[in-house]
Chain A
């Protein structure tokens, strides 16, 4: 399409420029029933998976239908959301902090038509557009990142892996049969954008090879001291090098860096700071699984998630090993944990040696913390431990 001006004048960029107005006030978009009862809610209940009811002091009710969202969506899809909101909810709709979509109606008789409309909508390939669920003690949406769609530092894909895992565990999204809510998150490199460090199960993109060094351009493209300071293990040091230019063929001395491969643990922080240190690698890159994190303060304090699987290869487009391993963890948790017990609380109660036994995951030396002084506190300073026996045996102990 030919250029169409919005009215912006590139010759006078600062003229009529509006800045610092922030976002709209949320009050502008509240459904009337929410606006009228703001701060007056008395109680709520989950009527069925994906459907909530809140009761206000005056007796007003609001029914919320939560549906899964894919987060990465087209304008066409957003318009379809608006169309549904127009049809059933007077044009009001909201998104949750896990990127689900919530449609709200003010009376019970409006819920059924809305539900039927939502479940009748499918993609051409057969996927539900608006699957209802994500409430209570079940699996809700997966918080995830950019992956190969848009980022330049990923070690795996985000949208792809998330679709695979949600397909695998779709029933848990539509049901509330787990001991407590299960939060799965995904980050495509260990920048950990999002919630992987504090989720029940976390999928994390991971490299296994040190960066390549583009000596010819490094000093031109990078601020060398920043690349050095970016390294958590001090594997990088400045170094002058004799190189033969690939472009001109001339020999010259350039400023560059040297990486001590023995010290490098492939975090990729230096590539973030310096474009001449790329490290993505098709065979080397893959996924680390972590488990046992939470953010709420309910019963136990918030926890970090811990590494439980050191490496799963990237297997696009369906990542079968990833799906299988996550299913393994979820099944063991569902079968063994007590009511209200989050995955991390369960693992800590039974002991991590039991966690590995019950889930059938392999324990390798990669899982033993070796990062600076605090690593010491993650080792076992006690003779309290269990000999491990078997999954079914353990389930029997729990049943007693």
Chain B
């Protein structure tokens, strides 16, 4: 397991760059990840997606299905890919500090 330091914070991550623990999330994490996820500037739309993912995860213990993410945020899948080029799983969930998606991915 690797640890990264960024702006005085320490994050424990796995080989794919996902946070090892949701509790370690902080706003600095988003700044640290965005570069590797092809995001230049973080907009309110990015934040809206991240906030919703975190709320949903805290409440339900799982990441939302893509259709739920779209319906609640109002962003079509295409728009989500525009915001997060690696997609809702590898991009948005990683930035939100959620666990790595599993299954046959």
Q: Which 5 A-B pairs have the closest CB atoms?
A: A13-B38, A223-B62, A220-B21, A273-B102, A225-B62
Which residues in B have some Cβ–Cβ distance to A below 8 Å? 20-22, 38, 57, 60-63, 85, 99-100, 102-104
Q: Are A220 and B61 in contact (CB under 8 A)?
A: no
Closest B residue to A217 by beta carbon equals B20
Q: For the complex, give the distance between the alpha carbons of A224 and B57 in Å.
A: 11
Answer whether A220 and B104 are a contact pair too, CB < 8 Å, given A13-B38, A13-B85, A225-B60.
no
Determine if A295 is an interface residue (Cβ-Cβ < 8 Å): no
Rounded to whole Å, the gap between the CB of B26 and the closest CB of chain A is 16
Q: Are B99 and A220 in contact (CB under 8 A)?
A: yes
Q: Are B99 and A222 in contact (CB under 8 A)?
A: yes
Q: For the complex, give the distance between the alpha carbons of A223 and B61 in Å.
A: 6
Chain A residues whose C-beta falls within 8 Å of the C-beta of B99 in the assembled complex = 220-223
Count, chain A residues at interface, CB 8 A: 15
Q: Are A220 and B62 in contact (CB under 8 A)?
A: no
Q: Are B63 and A220 in contact (CB under 8 A)?
A: no
Chain A residues whose C-beta falls within 8 Å of the C-beta of B102 in the assembled complex = 222-223, 226, 272-275
Q: Which of A13, A221, A226, A272 contacts B100 (CB 8 A)?
A: A221
Q: Are A223 and B38 in contact (CB under 8 A)?
A: no
A261-303 interface mask toward B, CB cutoff 8 Å, 1 = contact, 0 = none? Answer: 0000000000011110000000000000000000000000000
Q: For the complex, give the distance between the alpha carbons of A14 and B82 in Å.
A: 10
Answer whether A14 and B38 are a contact pair too, CB < 8 Å, given A220-B22, A273-B102.
yes
Chain B residues whose C-beta falls within 8 Å of the C-beta of A274 in the assembled complex = 102
Determine if A325 is an interface residue (Cβ-Cβ < 8 Å): no
Determine if A37 is an interface residue (Cβ-Cβ < 8 Å): no
Answer whether A191 and B104 are a contact pair too, CB < 8 Å, given A13-B38, A13-B85, A225-B60.
yes
A211-242 interface mask toward B, CB cutoff 8 Å, 1 = contact, 0 = none? Answer: 00000010011111110000000000000000
Q: For the complex, give the distance between the alpha carbons of A222 and B101 in Å.
A: 9
